[in-house]
Every structure is written in C-alpha cells, then in structure tokens.
C-alpha cells in the first residue's frame, strides 16, 4: 500500500436526503447540523412535490429523522412537510414491435406481451383502442404496436432536452408539459402538443410586437367607469383572468391557468379589431405578460423589457378588481316553442317579470306569438326566456 486519506463520507445517500431541508435552513453552520432558531423559523416545509416513487421510502425516512430531531430538542416541529403533491409522469409514444393482424384480432410478440405485462398476446382491435394504443405502419412495411410509456433511456422514447431547447426553446417545452394535463396526471408528449404551444406563444409575440410603438405612446391611467362597451368587456375579462390564474397557480392547476391565458389572448385580438391601443389595452397587455411569466419566463421577460428596464419578476403580482368581475349587462336568449327568435341585452340583475315583458315586446318575438295562446312562460335567470304558444 501507499499513502491514503480516510474518507469519512460513507453514509448512504438516503441518509443525507432524509434531512437536507433542515440543513438548508442553516447551510453554513460549521459547528452544528443546524441551529434550532433557524430551523424553527423556516420549518415545516410548506409544499413537498415529488414523484410517486418517493411516497414510501423518502417520506418515511424524512418523517423518522424529523421526529428524532424533535425528540432531541433540535427542532420544534415533529412533521417535516405540510402538504404533499405527487406529480404525474411524462409519457412518450413507444414502439413495441410488429404485430400480426387477422380480421379483428391482433397478435403481439411474446417480448411485447412481457414488456406490456399482458396475460395474453392476442387482443381485439377494440381492446387495443381501450388501452390507448395504436397500430402504425413501421419502416419495415408492417403494422407496429404503439403505446405511451414513461419516458426512459431503455425504451428510447424520450426527448433530448438539450437539442429540443436549442431548436424550440425552453418556454415551448414548459407550456407543452404544463398545458397537456393536470400536473397530478400523466401526460403524453406529442408533436401536436409542441406545435400547439408554439402557435400560442407566437400569437403572444405578434400581438405585443405589432402594437409595440402604440403601446409605448399610450397613457397608462384610465377610469374603468368611463370605458366604452368594448373597453369594459376587455377590462372585465382581464380581471376574471387575473383571479382565475392566481387561484389556479396557488392550486397547482397549471393547465387551466394556461387555458385562461389563451382565452384572454383571444380577447386582446378581438379588442384590437374594433378599438385602438389605448390605456385599458396597454394595461391588459402588460398584465398579460406578468401572468404569462411563470409559464413562459423567457418570452415574458423579453417582451416586458420592451416597456420596462426592470425584470417582469420584480413587478408585483397583479390583483383583480372585484367590482369588474361581473358584467353590467347579459345576453338573454328568447325562444318561442324552443326556437331562438331574439337575443336581448338586458341588465344583469333583471327580474322575471321585466325579462318576460321585454321578450314579448321584441318585434320578432311578437310576430311569432301574435294571435296565439301562451300556455307556458319559462324563465331561466340570466340566460333564457322560452315562450310556449299554441294556435
């Protein structure tokens, strides 16, 4: 032998990962694992997010270690985590090899049966469909059995992050994953999903860049009570979206938050068809970039810097105007014998008697009930009037 240096770090990695969150509270302490006052300030962890594979071992070890430290008077809490969220896995379409098809029956290879953990190698076409699988023509001219499976190197069904980000950008990857499914569910990575994210973010880019000069020149102050109909509609949609995205982010419902942003983007495009880039529009666009930032941070930051020297992440998260969430007027559909005969703009708080009176007074409705006996008058508050007439 020769000179050697003793390695004191011989603990299994699970030992360190069972209490790292406590060390984070006092990472530079050279005398103790962590100081009690600092651990008590930060603990417990507000939100634990991890894969289902951590649900037994890591959570069990972490709880054991925390309870031990609690018994030793090293920390005040005896449970390490307040909330647990287990995210779904990213799936990729996987080729399980060629199959033989005879009529309505599909025969898989024995290798494919084992990999798919099936009891039989013969399936009906209906069973293939119910499994979420597809038969696709392969490069060898034969039909192959394709089914989503958790991305892995062994299956060769993954997406290389580096090349994808260089070609498409990290924001497209983020939006593709977050919009595809609720985060607790598994999601299937598809080219259609990638293209959908690409189209969405490019629409955001065009909307802001095309109006950039007008937005720079537009004043920021406006009175919500003095907006015209189009302005009020946009201001209401903006505040509804702020509320929706805020609540969805806090509830980890990222897919529905992005869906709300897509709806608001449509509203921005619709508004510009009939109005200029005035103060309410400028407010909506800048707020939009703030709401987009958690999902597409690079694009949001780039566009934000066209109007501000500071980062979008230094801006305060937008708050919504409670009074703007509900419309002053609603569209009341009027039917006669089940067929739509009119649409009325009426006050949102309209009562039944006034709604029926306005419906009967409409010229087209009068034409269809004139000389007939009204046998039934149906009113669905805020939505519908249906007049049933005979004769």
Give the separation between CA 217 and CA 206, rounded to whole angstroms.
18
Where are the chain's structural domains? 13-86, 90-155, 193-324, 329-390
Task: Provide the residue-wise pLDDT of the chain in tens; the chain has 391 residues.
Answer: 788 888 877 888 888 889 999 999 999 999 999 999 999 999 999 999 888 777 778 889 999 999 999 999 999 999 999 999 988 888 899 999 999 999 999 999 999 999 899 999 999 999 999 999 999 999 999 999 999 998 888 888 888 888 899 999 999 999 999 999 898 888 888 899 999 999 999 999 999 999 999 999 999 999 999 999 899 999 999 999 999 999 999 999 999 999 999 999 999 999 999 999 999 999 999 999 999 999 999 999 999 999 999 999 999 999 999 988 887 788 999 999 999 999 998 988 899 999 999 999 999 999 999 999 999 999 999 899 999 999 7
Distances in Å between the Cα of 161 and the Cα atoms of 112, 166, 180 are 28, 9, 18
pLDDT for position 316:
95
Q: How many Å apart are CA 317 and CA 238, to the nearest integer?
A: 14
Distance CA 378, CA 372 (A): 16
The CATH superfamily label for domain 193-324 reads Isoleucyl-tRNA Synthetase; Domain 1 (1.10.730.10)
Compute the distance between CA of residue 54 and CA of residue 70 in angstroms, rounded to an integer.
22
Q: In this structure, how many other beta carbons lie within 10 angstroms of the beta carbon of residue 148?
A: 21
Superfamily of segment(s) 90-155: Leucyl-tRNA synthetase, domain 3 (2.30.210.10)
Phi and psi, residue 314, nearest 5°? -90, -10
Report the DSSP pairing between strands 122-124 and 105-107.
Answer: antiparallel
Domain 329-390 in the same topology as domain 193-324? no
Per-residue confidence (pLDDT) for residue 352, from 0 to 100: 93
Write the class of the CATH domain 329-390: alpha beta
């Amino acid at each position: 032998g020769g000179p050697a240096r003793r390695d004191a770090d011989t603990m299994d990695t699970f030992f360190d990962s069972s209490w790292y969150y406590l060390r984070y509270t006092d990472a530079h302490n050279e005398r103790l694992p962590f100081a009690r006052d600092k651990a008590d300030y930060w603990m417990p962890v507000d939100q634990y997010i991890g894969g289902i594979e951590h649900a037994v071992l890591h959570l069990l070890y972490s709880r054991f270690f925390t309870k031990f430290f609690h018994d030793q008077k090293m920390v005040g809490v005896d449970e390490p985590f307040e909330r647990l969220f287990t995210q779904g896995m990213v799936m990729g379409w996987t080729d399980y090899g060629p199959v033989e098809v005879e009529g309505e029956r599909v025969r898989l290879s024995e290798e494919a049966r084992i990999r798919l953990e099936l009891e039989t190698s013969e399936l009906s076409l209906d069973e293939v469909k119910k499994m979420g699988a597809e038969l696709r023509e392969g490069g060898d001219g034969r039909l192959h059995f394709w089914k989503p499976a958790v991305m892995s190197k062994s299956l060769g069904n993954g997406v290389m992050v580096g090349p994808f980000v260089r070609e498409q950008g990290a924001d497209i990857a983020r939006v593709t994953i977050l919009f595809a499914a609720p985060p607790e569910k598994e999601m299937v990575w598809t080219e259609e999903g990638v293209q959908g994210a690409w189209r969405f973010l490019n629409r955001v880019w065009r909307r802001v860049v095309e109006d950039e000069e007008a937005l720079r020149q537009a004043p920021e102050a406006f009175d919500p009570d003095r907006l015209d109909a189009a302005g009020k509609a946009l201001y209401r949609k903006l505040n509804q979206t702020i509320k929706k995205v805020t609540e969805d982010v806090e509830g980890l419902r990222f897919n529905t938050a992005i869906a709300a942003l897509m709806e608001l983007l449509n509203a921005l495009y619709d508004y510009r068809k009939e109005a200029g880039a005035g103060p309410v529009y400028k407010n909506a666009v800048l707020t939009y970039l703030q709401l987009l930032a958690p999902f597409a941070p690079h694009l949001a930051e780039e566009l934000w810097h066209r109007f501000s020297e500071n980062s979008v992440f230094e801006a305060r998260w937008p708050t919504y105007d409670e009074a703007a969430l509900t419309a002053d007027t609603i569209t009341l559909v009027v039917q006669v014998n089940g067929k739509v005969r009119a649409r009325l703009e009426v006050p949102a708080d309209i009562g039944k008697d006034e709604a029926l009176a306005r419906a009967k007074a409409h010229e087209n409705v009068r034409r269809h009930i004139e000389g007939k006996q009204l046998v039934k008058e149906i009113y669905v508050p805020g939505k519908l009037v249906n007049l049933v007439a005979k004769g």
